Chain A
Amino acid sequence: KQEVTQIPAALSVPEGENLVLNCSFTDSAIYNLQWFRQDPGKGLTSLLLIQSSQREQTSGRLNASLDKSSGRSTLYIAASQPGDSATYLCAGTSGTYKYIFGTGTRLKVLA
């Protein structure tokens, strides 16, 4: 059974810092991987999608990579801002489009 762990569980940093959020899968056979952002009491916003043929995706200050050999993904946030404060979730699928979600990282960026 696929399990997804995100480290750290919570993170508090001053504004401007570069951050790395980690996600690891017990089964490294990942087909697609998505990183999401969730604000308190809200739904999910898709940030980045890494499809089966890809290893990395970038959008603005965000960069996500996937190492399929180890089943690990990282989300890099450059020059963090208070508006980045949210919970970040990674989710992966092994090909059935049934995404399994990670435990989440609660990020707080201090002004």
Chain B
Amino acid sequence: GAVVSQHPSWVICKSGTSVKIECRSLDFQATTMFWYRQFPKQSLMLMATSNEGSKATYEQGVEKDKFLINHASLTLSTLTVTSAHPEDSSFYICSARWTGGASSGANVLTFGAGSRLTVL
């Protein structure tokens, strides 16, 4: 249980275009999802917290208008990189908080496989 699916796993786009990445919780409901970015050989940096039915909370230094997050249902959050530029090329990973009972792994964050974005 507690599987998170990310799509697409990789995408190449031209500078100036927008790219949407989906994060789905397949077998559980996730009121909260998190989006991370990872540059080569660096650790994961939290970009924003996605809350179902409300606005996302962005970390300091992350442009809200650049990285649009929509958490329209309990199983889906999307990250749209608008007007992408080469410096946006990165590995984007989402995670979802599993709110099951203590015996079933509460407070566990399950991660998607990541989406590698390359902007030419």
Q: Interface of chain B, helix or strand or loop or mixed?
A: strand
Most buried by A among B6, B43, B111, B114: B43
Q: Chain B: how many interface residues by the 8 Å CB criterion?
A: 26
Smallest Cβ-Cβ distance to B57: which chain A residue: A98
Taking a contact as CB atoms closer than 8 A, the residue among A36, A51, A99, A102 that contacts B34 in the complex is: A99
Contact size range, A: 20 to 34
> A44, B43: Cβ atoms under 8 Å?
no
CB distance from B50 to the nearest CB of A (A): 12
Instruction: Give the interface of B toward A (CB within 8 A).
Output: 6, 32, 34, 36, 42-46, 49, 91, 93, 95, 97, 102, 105-114, 116
Residues 70 to 111 of chain A near chain B (Cβ within 8 Å) = 89, 91, 97-104
A99 to B46, CA, bound (A): 8
The answer to whether residues A101 and B108 also contact, given A43-B93, A43-B113 and a CB cut-off of 8 A, is: no
Query: Is B107's CB under 8 angstroms from A97's CB?
Result: yes
Does A98 lie within 8 Å of B107, measured CB to CB? no
Give the distance in Å from the alpha carbon of A97 to the alpha carbon of B109 in the complex: 8
A60 at interface (Cβ–Cβ under 8 A)? Answer: no
> Does A42 sit at the interface, judged by CB under 8 A?
yes
CB of A26 within 8 A of chain B? no
Instruction: Tell whether, in the assembled complex, residue B113 and residue A42 are in contact, meaning their CB atoms are under 8 Å apart.
Output: yes
Q: Which residues of A contact B46 (CB under 8 A)?
A: 98-101
Expressed in whole angstroms, the minimum distance between the Cβ of A25 and any Cβ of chain B is 14
B43 contacts which chain A residues (CB < 8 A)?
89, 101-104
Q: Which of B34, B107, B111 contacts A43 (CB 8 A)?
A: B111
Interface residues of A in 29-71 (CB under 8 A from B): 32, 34, 36, 41-46, 49, 51-52
Complex interface: chain A residues within 8 A of B36 (CB): 101
* A-B contacts, 5 listed (Cβ < 8 Å): A42-B113, A42-B114, A43-B6, A44-B44, A44-B93
Bound CA span A51–B97, Å:
14
Taken together as a complex, chains A and B put the C-alpha atoms of A41 and B91 apart, in Å, by 8
**Bound CA span A41–B6, Å:** 14
Distance from B113 Cβ to chain A, minimum over Cβ atoms (Å): 4
Task: Give residues 3-39 of A contacting B (CB, 8 Å).
Answer: 32, 34, 36
